[in-house]
Amino acid sequence: MRKIGLFAVAAALTLVSVGGWMEWVTSDSQARVATPAGDSVDPTQLTMNAKDLPVAKFVDYTVHSPEHEQ
């Protein structure tokens, strides 16, 4: 009896999943994101025209002592 119930639950979940997937594939919804109209953003131009950006600072904390140098 336990195996039959488990099989029924698995079959029901499979049917619901396939049905939801089919609805998503075949729907003609307007909720999807459309491509932007007009000019698109050019990443090359963004990087070439970038000005006054913050500079990353690197602090070297390595120890240089005569004992460690060879």
Question: Residues with Cβ < 8 Å from 44, sequence gap 6 or more?
Answer: none
Token pair 């396939």 is found at 18
User: pLDDT class for 1, splitting at 50, 70, 90?
Assistant: low
Report pLDDT for 70.
57
pLDDT in tens, 14-69: 998 988 887 776 766 666 666 666 677 888 888 888 888 888 888 888 877 666 55
Distance between CA 38 and CA 42 in Å, rounded? 13
